[in-house]
Structure 1
C-alpha cells in the first residue's frame, strides 16, 4: 500500500489560502534566518584582522570552506528531505547555524575560525540552500513555480537587507562577538516557526499541490540519502545540459557570494569608505535583488530561460568590468548605480536555472539542482579565496573584478549552448 492509498489528498472546500502558500512563507522565514550568518563575513573581515592579526588570505580560507560546504551539502540535504522530511532537516540546520555562530565568540586560533565559520555553519546553511527552494517548489506548486522560486530565492537578499546594516552597526559599536551572538539568536527564533508551519508534503494537510491534480503528486523516495544523491549525480552527469548549467552556476557563485558579498566591504574600505557605509550599500543590493529575482521568476514563466541566463551573465560581466574606477571615500551616483544594477542581477539566474533543471530532469530536479548549486558555491569558494590572495599579493582587488567579468563572458556562451528542451520530458528515475 502506498502513501497515496492512505492519505486523502482532496482539497478542502472553503479554504481561503492554499496551504502551499503557508509552506512557502515558512520556507521564506527559514531562509531569512540562514541568511543572517551569510551576511556577516564581509563586515567581520577587518575586525578579525585587527584583533587577531590574521591576514585577509587566512580569513578567506574560512570563507572559502564555508562557501564550498554551503554548496556541497545541498544535494545531500535534498536527499535527506526526501528521506526524513523537510521540517526535521530545516530545524536541525537552523540549530547548527546557531551553534556554529555562537561558538565563534570563544575562538582564539584561525583553525577554529575554519571549523566553526567554515565547516559547522557551512553545513548548516547548505542544508537550507537552494535545494530547499527546489524541494518546496517542486512538491507544493505546479502553477506559479517560476514566481514562487523567485520569491523564495529572494529570501537570501531579504535576510541580507535585514541583517547586514544591523550587523555592521553592532560590529562597530559592540564588536564582532556581539554580532555573532545576534545572528545565533536570530537562527534559533525561526526554529519554532518551521516546526509549526512547514509541512513536508501537501498530502500531510489533505491537499493537492497548488494548481495541480492527483497526477502531480509524487510518492516519497525511500532510499538512503547518500545513495540517492550519488545515483542522481551519476544519471545527470550523462546529460550535456547538466554540465552547462554547472559551468554557468560556477560563474554565478564566483561573481556574487565569492567576489562581491565577501570582498566588496573590505575593497571599499581600501579606498577610504567606512565599513558601515559600504555594508549599507551592500544591503541595498538586497532591495533590488528582491525585485530582480521575483521579476526574473515572472519572466521565466513566459520566456526562454536560456536567453534570460545569457542576458543576466552579460550584464553582470559589464558591471564588474566598470566597477574598479567607481570606488572612492564617498558614495556618489556612479557607485550607487552599480549597486542598483548589480542588485537587480544578483540571483536573477536562479529561476531560469531551476526551470531548465525541471525540464531536463523531471522528478529528480531538486536533487540535480542541489548538485548544480554545489557548483555555484564551489565557484564562490574559489573566488573568495583567490580574491583574498590577490589583495594580499597586489594590494588591490582590481584584478579580481576584471577576472570576474571574463568569467561572465564564458557563462554567456555556456547558457546559449544549452539545447532547447522538448515540449514534454519524461522524469528521470532517481
Structure 2
C-alpha cells in the first residue's frame, strides 16, 4: 500500500502539474520527455534488478530501490524550485502570464480534488479518458510489465534475456514517447490515441504467436517500445482542453488512477488465466482487443467544451 501511494503521488500526475505550471509552449513535448523518462527508467533498471533478485532474492532489490529513492530527496529540495516566480522567472513561452498556481492547506487540496472529480465525472470526456487510460494500464504495466518475463520463461528464455528485452523496449520508449509529445503539439490528439491504442492492440495479439527468437523479439521490442507510454501526452492535452489548465492536473490524477486500476486488473487477471489455461494466450489476445476498443473510443472524446464542464474553480 505504501508503494502504491508513493508511486501514485509522483511520476505522471506530478509531471502534469509541473508541466502546466512551468510551460505554456511545448507542453506536449515536455510531457512526452517526462513520461518517457518514467517508463524508460523502470524498464532499463529491470535487468539490474533481475540480476540482484537472481543472486540474492527480492530483499536486495527493495533495498536498492529504496536507497536510490532516498538519494533523490536532497536533490529535489536543493535543485527544483516550486514555481517559476520563486526564481524570478515566468512559465516558458508565456509573455506576461502570472504565476497563479493555487496555494492552500492540505485540507483545501483534498476538497479541491474531490470537488473536481464530482464535476468532471458528470462529463462524457472524463469517462472516455478514464476508460482509455484504464486500457493503457492494462496493456502496459499490468500485463507486459508484470507478465512478459514469465511469458518468456514459458517460451524457454532465461531471466536475464527477458530483462534485456524489457530494457530494449525502454530505450525505444524514450524515442516513441518523446516523438508523441512533439506530435501532440501539432496534430489532433484523438487521432494519435486511435493510432497508438490500435497498433498496441495488434502487437499484443501477435506476441504469443511469435517464435521467440532474437529477430522476432527484437522487432516486437522496437515496435511495442515506441508505443509504451506514447498515450500520455495526447491524454494530458485532451484533459487541458476539456477541463482547463487549473483543473487538468487534478482530473488527470483521477484518470491516472484508472491507468493503475487497469494495471492491477491485468496483473491479477493475467496470472489467473495463466494458471487456469496453462498459457498467456488468452490474456494477450484480450489485451489486444481492449486496445482496439480504446482506439475507437478515443475518437469520441470531445475537445475544448469547457463551458459544459462543471469542475472546481
The question of a shared fold, defined as TM-score above 0.5 by the shorter chain, is answered with yes
Aligned pair count reads 310
Query: RMSD between aligned alpha carbons?
Result: 1.9
- Aligned partners of 1:254 and 1:376 also within 8 Å: yes
Counterpart of 1:36 in structure 2 is: none
Aligned to 1:384: 267
Relative to 1, partners in 2 of residues 1:426 and 1:404: Cα closer, same or farther, differing over 3 Å?
closer
Considering only CA atoms, is the larger Rg found in Structure 1 or Structure 2? 1
**Tell me, what secondary structure is at the counterpart of 1:375?**
helix
Show structure 1 runs of 4+ deviating over 6 A: 422-427
Query: Is 1:275 matched up with 2:195?
Result: no
1:195 and 2:77 aligned = yes
Q: CA deviation at 1:174?
A: 2.7
Gaps of 5+ in 2: none
In structure 1, what is the Cα distance between the partners aligned to 2:83 and 2:141? 31
* More moved, 176-185 vs 278-287: 176-185
Residue number among 27, 49, 62 corresponding to 1:167 in the alignment = 49
CA displacement 1:225-253 (0-9 Å, x = unmatched): 22111000011112211111111101000
> For the residues of structure 2 that align with 1:161 and 1:383, how far apart are their CA atoms?
18
CA contact (8 A) 2:90 2:97 kept: no
Report what 1:242 is aligned to.
Answer: 126
SS in 2 for 1:361: helix
Which TM-score applies when normalising by structure 2?
Answer: 0.94
Higher relative contact order (CA 8 A, sep 6+): 2
Question: What residue number does 1:416 align with?
Answer: 299
Residues 309, 254 of structure 1: alpha-carbon distance in 2 compared, 3 angstrom cutoff? same
Note if 1:225 corresponds to 2:113.
no
CA distance 1:138–1:425, change in 2 (3 Å): farther
Which digits, 9 at most, give the CA deviation of each residue in 1:163-198, with x for residues without a partner?
Answer: 111111112223322222111111111111111111
Residue 355 (structure 1) aligned to one of 225, 228, 237? 237
Q: Which deviates further from its counterpart, 128-137 or 216-225?
A: 216-225
- Report deviation, 1:427: 10
Q: Is contact 1:359-1:425 (8 Å) kept? A: no
Residue in structure 2 matching 1:129, options 1, 6, 11: 11
Structure-to-structure mapping, 1:332-411, within 5 angstroms: 332-362=214-244, 363-411=246-294
Cα offset for 1:224? Answer: 1.7
CA distance in 1, matches of 2:26, 2:251: 21
Conserved 8 A contact 1:364-1:427: no
Contact 2:241-2:303 within 8 A present in 1 as well: no
Question: Are 2:37 and 1:155 aligned?
Answer: yes
Pick closer, same or farther for the CA change 1:155–1:174 going to 2, 3 Å.
same
Instruction: Give the SS at the match of 2:81.
Output: coil
What stretches of structure 1 of length at least 5 have no aligned partner?
A: 1-118
TM-fit CA distance, 1:424: 10
Q: Is the 8 A contact 1:170 1:179 kept in 2?
A: yes
Match of 1:206 among 71, 76, 88: 88
Match for residue 183 of structure 1 among 24, 43, 65: 65
Among 175, 181, 188, the alignment partner of 1:297 is 181
SS of equivalent residue, structure 1 residue 215: coil
Q: Per-residue CA shift, 1:236-280, capped at 9, x if unaligned?
A: 112211111111101000000110000000111111110111011
- Alpha-carbon distance between aligned partners in 1 of 2:80 and 2:307, rounded to the nearest angstrom: 31
Cα pair distance change 1:408/1:216, threshold 3 Å: farther
Q: Residue 423 and residue 187 in structure 1: after superposition, are their counterparts in 2 closer, same or farther (change >3 A)?
A: closer
Structure-2 separation of matches of 1:344 and 1:425? 35
